[in-house]
Each structure stands twice: as structure tokens, then as C-alpha cells.
Amino acid sequence: MKPKKQFFTTPIYYVNAKPHLGHAYTSIAADVATRFKQIDDYETFFLTGTDEHGDKIVQAAQKQETTPKEYADNISQLFQDLLPVLNVKNNHFIRTTDPGHIQVVKDVLSKIYDSGDIYFSSYEGLYCFGCERFYQERELIDGKCQDHGVEPTVIKESNYFFKMSKYQKWLINHIKANPDFIQPEQYKNEILSFLKDPLEDLCISRPKSRLTWGITLPFDEDYVTYVWFDALVNYISALGYPDGKLFKKFWPSTRHFVAKDIIKPHGIYWPIMLKAADIEIYNGLNVHGFWNVKGSKMSKSIGNVTDPIQVTNKYGIDPFRYFLMREMVFGLDANFTEETIVSRINSDLANDLGNLFSRVLSMNSRYFTGEVKGSDAKIEKQKNLSLASDAKKAVDEFKQAMSLCEFHKGVGAIWQFISIMNKYIDTTAPWTLAKDDANVLILGTVLYNLIEGLRVVSCLIYPIMPQTSLKMQETLCMEKREKGFYSLEETFPWGQIKKGTIIEKPDILFPRIDTNKIKPKSHKKKLSASNFDKSVAPGNPVK
């Protein structure tokens, strides 16, 4: 069988500001998807990077009295440093200032220019000299530029244009012929409805008199290319287009992770650029929504721009990754609040999974001094004690959901199985069995099935919580895999933990976060989520 391949990308992040929650989400989602493909036996390649040209960078650099390159270096470094903090494992980090990238951009531009799809034309528009940019009429307030309060001047400027309109029909057909080209479907519909109106050609250059911080056009020394070619081409330049091995190997399997605000460049310009350059079209787009923070859009003025590093430091990498995947329906917006993340950590991670892990292994320690007794086949069948089919169901549902980027459903499938195991304990009541030596085989079988269930869970959570996955597997004395994970294929057959294995009583997997400053009188009374904010339990992971 032909080995399965998968190439995932994040957008290249624009270096005009430091990374925030949104960037972290995209990177983590792509990382989770990549790791999932890995456990599904795909060979993967994961690309992320930074977009570093354009006037905003020049302006930002001027403000800091530095050069654009130096400025870009600094911010790019912040994005690079974020990856290990989030445990995102990329194969390559591309920067649009990389010489290799610049060359590919020029090559692609030349190719399209030679084939006649780029033309020179004059453009007349409303130009604000203060902002050094053209305005659309609708952007103006009372006909004036907001920043300078000045009416823009009508000026003419000659530029290069890309004939997008020529490929409009082709693109519509392509999207319709490939139903998963843009996912989820709502965004496909959005693009198709946008394509109902005639497409305008795209201005792809800026005269050097206005902007020099960019890639010089290969066919005109006096111009730099502006944004689209510069940025989007990173996806192929990073793979060594046109002749690179990686390009040949991975390009056809490409899926780009993007947030909903950049679906037009990715869903329209990019495929048309590829088509015009006679390059195979990428496989598709996975479009996600925005994170609101405390109910409103992240913005500097509201002051709710969330720093992923702070959140990670406070709650831990795995809980943060879990929360992002569990809480957002891929494609839709979601809300980020500390209340919700704490609630998720306490109920899903500490109470459900962590406590299950703890109670099962504690019982095994207590009743069998940690020795895995194994299942008695006859008793298992007779008493219907196997958890294998429930585990299988979880694996199947998990796989199905994760393949479609339905991360919240994938997580849900695992947690359903966790819940089944908690119920199973209640039903079988091992503490009662333990009171009578006659039940030792039943007790052993029950605990064995639970331990096996935990083994499967440890494999499934790997894409989302790699550290926890490993920690569980170490505790369960599972053989360490060189690649760092067990594949889905390897989760079965049932019954892999060897009889006689000694399993130590584990450390707490996820400490509960104490939301009480003052202990309530009744043990049942849990704290309402209102006064948890700053109080994080002392034992909480800080790494």
C-alpha cells in the first residue's frame, strides 16, 4: 500500500504584533491534526512561519527606531519561541525574508508574467499621503481619512495586476467538484456566494517610491510585489518548489489551516495563482472561527488580547491544548474565559480522567500490591466484563471525528468511554469483591479491563495531550515507542498489558484547581465560578 502523506500548514503570521490566543489556537489545531495523522500512520509535514514584508512593518520599525529586518527578526523570534511552549512540533519554520523563499516568489511571478496573466495598468484612487495608502470610498468617514482627518487626493499610479477574473469560472467549478476543498461547508458557501459577483483583478505591486520593504518584481526593478504572491507562495517555497523532494512528496496532500478572516486570499487568490502558474492545486482548506474573550472580540482597546504563554504558564500545556480543542467547535467562534478553562480542567481532566486513573491504579495497588492480574477469559465472558467493544467504539468515533477536524467530537468520544469506565467501576464495585477471596478472579478481571481501557485512552489523547499520554503510558509500564506514540492500529488487540506487570500508584495526573478561597461548609457545595479568578491551587502545574 502506498504510504499515506499529509501536509498541514498554519498561515504565516504577520509580524506586526506579538502572538495572541488566536495564533496559538491555529498552531495547536494544526499540531493536533498532524499528530492525529501520525497515529493514523500518515507521514506528515507541518509548516508554520512568519510574514514579514509590507508597510506596516516599516512603520512599526520606524517607531522603534530600528530596521524592518531587525524588527521582523524580533517578532518572528517570538512566534518561533511560542511553538515549544505550546508543544507544537513543526517540521519547518519559514520566513518570507528567507532568500530561498524570495527566489521562489520571483520564479512564480516570472512564470505567470511570461504566460500573460500579469499586466501593467494604471490605477486611479483616493490616496492619503499621511497614511501612504489608497482608500476605498467606503473606508472614509465624511470623505476623510480617519487617522489624519484629511480628504485623500485623487492620484494615478501604475501597477501590475493579476488576471484573476480569467479563472473565476474555473475556480467555481473546482470548488463544486471538490466538496471538501473548503471546510467546514459554511465557508465553502461563503466563497461560492462571493464568487457570484465578477472577480476583480488583483493589484500585486507597489512602486518602490512608496515601498521598498518587499520582494522586487523579476520583470520590473522599480516595483516590489505586494502581499499575495509574497505571502501565499510560502506554502510551496517551504517545500522546495519546483524540484524539491518534499514538494513532490507532500504538496498534493496539502491542507491549510486558516482563520475565517483570511478565507478569500486562501480560497480564491491562492488556487487561482496556482492555476495560473500551472501548479497542482492544494487539497483544501480547514477554516476555523475566532476566540472571543469574555464575550467580546479580542482587541487592544478593550485590553483583552490574551497571551497564550501566560495561560499556559498558569494552567499547563496539556490542559490548555485540551481546553482549546474541547471548547471550540471547529469552524465556529468560541468564548475564552478563565472560568471555563478552570471548569474544564476540574471536571473533565481532574474529576473524570485523572480521578479514574487514580482510583483504578490505587485499587490495583491496594488489592494486588500493584500486580496486574490479567483477565480470566471464562469469567470475563460469563459476567460480561469486557470493555473491549466500548474501547473499540471510542477509537472508531475518535478517528472519524478527528479526520474531519471535529476535534470537540473526537475528545467527546474519548470522554464518553471514560464515563463508561467510571460507571463500570460503580457497577462492579471492586471494593466489595475485594472483601471475599472467592472473588479474586473477578476482581482481577475487572481491574484488568480498566487498566486496558486506560491504555487505550492514553493512546487516543496523544494528539491533544502528548505529555499526559506519555505520562500515563510510563505509569502503565507500556513499552516506549521510538516515534513517541502508539498508532491507532496498535491500540488493538485488546489485552496488551502483560499479566504480572507491576504498576506503581501514580502521581496525580491533573490537580484540581481550588476555586475556593474559603472552604464551604458543605462538602457538596462547590464554588460558583465567580471568585475563582486569581486563586489557583498551590499544587497546580506551572510548567
Partner RNA sequence: GGCGACGUAGCUCAGUUGGUCAGAGCAUGCGGCUCAUAUCCGCAGAGUCCGGGGUUCAAGUCCCUGCGUCGCUACCA
Question: Per the residue annotation, which of 37, 53, 106, 145 is the catalytic one?
Answer: 145
Contact region with RNA (CB under 7 A), list: 86-94, 182-190, 240-248, 311-319: 182-190
Smaller CB separation from RNA, 2 or 300: 300
Beta bridge partners of 134: 127
- Residue 167 near RNA by CB under 7 A: no
524 counts as binding RNA under rule CB under 7 A? yes
DSSP state, 146?
T
Among 75, 259, 402, 446, binds RNA (CB under 7 A): 259
180 binds RNA, rule: CB under 7 A: no
**How far is C-alpha 301 from the geometric centre of its chain's CA atoms?**
26
Identified binder of RNA from the candidate list 85, 131, 195, 262, rule CB under 7 A: 262
**Residue 163 binds to RNA (criterion: CB under 7 A):** no
Rounded to whole angstroms, the maximal C-alpha distance in the chain is 94
Indicate which residue of 264, 297, 480, 526 is catalytic.
297
Contacts of residue 327, defined as CB under 8 A and 6 or more positions apart, other chains included, come to: 334, 335, 336, 340, 341, 344, 408
Our CB check for RNA shows the closer of 150 and 332 to be: 332
Could you tell me how far CA 1 lies from the centroid of its own chain? 29
Cα separations (Å) of 16 from 12, 51, 71, 72, 362? Answer: 12, 9, 9, 8, 51
CA-to-CA dists, residue 422 to 409, 428, 445, angstroms: 20, 10, 16
Binds RNA by CB under 7 A, chosen from 32, 75, 118, 363: 363
CB 317 within 8 A of CB 309: no
Write out the binding residues for RNA, residues 264-283 only, by CB under 7 A.
264-265
Beta-carbon contacts of residue 221 (< 8 Å; ≥ 6 apart): none
Give least dist CB 426 to RNA, A: 4
408 is catalytic: no
Annotated active-site residue 148? The verdict is yes
Separation between Cα atoms, residue 156 and residue 207, nearest integer Å: 12
Under rule CB under 7 A, which residues in 58-117 are in contact with RNA?
none
The answer to whether the bond into 242 is cis (omega within 30° of 0) is yes
Other beta carbons less than 10 A from residue 383's beta carbon = 14
Interaction between residue 442 and RNA (CB under 7 A):
no
CB 320 within 8 A of CB 468: no
Smallest separation, CB 247 to RNA (Å): 23
Interacting residue with RNA among 227, 387, 446, 488 (CB under 7 A): 227
Distance CA 193, CA 200 (A): 15
Rounded to 5 degrees, φ, ψ at 38 are: -65, -45
Q: Which stretch binds RNA (CB under 7 A): 114-122, 151-159, 191-199, 472-480?
A: 191-199
Catalytic entry in 63, 156, 300, 521: 300
Q: In this chain, which stretch among 19-27, 165-173, 237-245, 316-324 interacts with RNA, using CB under 7 A?
A: 19-27
Catalytic, 174? Answer: no
Q: How far is the CB of 425 from RNA (least distance, A)?
A: 5
- Asked about 145 being catalytic, the answer comes back as yes
The pattern of x and - marking residues 284 through 323 that bind RNA according to CB under 7 A reads ------xx-----xx-------------------------
483 is catalytic: no
User: Which C-beta is closer to RNA: that of 241 or that of 415?
Assistant: 415
| Residues binding RNA: number (CB under 7 A) | 76
Question: What residues from 385 to 424 belong to the interface with RNA (CB under 7 A)?
Answer: 419, 422-423
Beta bridge pairs of residue 292: 297, 335
Selected range binding RNA among 124-132, 311-319, 372-380, 508-516, rule: CB under 7 A = 508-516
- Min dist CB 300 to RNA, Å, is 8
* Closest approach of RNA to the CB of residue 362, in Å: 4
229 sits in which H/E element: helix 228-232
Judge whether 468 and 418 are in contact, CB under 8 Å.
no
Stretch that binds RNA, among 165-173, 342-350, 368-376, 483-491 (CB under 7 A): 342-350
Q: How far is the CB of 514 from RNA (least distance, A)?
A: 8
Find the shortest distance in angstroms from Cβ 39 to RNA.
Answer: 23
Q: Stretches 316-324, 345-353, 452-460, 478-486: which one binds RNA (CB under 7 A)?
A: 345-353
Binding flag, residue 429, RNA (CB under 7 A): yes
Of the two residues 248 and 519, which places its CB atom closer to RNA in the complex? 519
**Minimum distance of RNA from residue 249's CB (angstroms):** 25
Active site residue 131: yes
Minimum distance of RNA from residue 264's CB (angstroms) = 5
**Three-state SS at 241:** coil
- Taking CB under 7 A as the criterion, the residue among 81, 124, 151, 261 binding RNA is 261
Does the protein bind RNA through residue 501 (CB under 7 A)?
A: no
Stretch that binds RNA, among 150-158, 169-177, 252-260, 469-477 (CB under 7 A): 252-260
d(CA 217, CA 223): 6
How many angstroms from the chain centroid is the CA of residue 374? 39
Q: 441 to each of 193, 379, 381, 438, how far by Cα in Å?
A: 64, 8, 12, 8
Q: Which of 324, 459, 449 is nearest to 385 (CA)?
A: 449
**Interface with RNA includes 509 (CB under 7 A)?**
yes
491-497: Cβ within 8 A, 24+ apart:
491/391, 491/395, 491/455, 491/456, 491/459, 491/460, 492/392, 492/395, 494/386, 494/388, 494/391, 494/392, 494/452, 495/375, 495/388, 495/452, 496/452, 496/455, 497/372, 497/448, 497/451, 497/452, 497/455
Residue where the block lists cell 471548569:
343
CA distance 172 to 107: 27
Enzyme catalytic residues: 20, 23, 128, 131, 145, 148, 297, 300
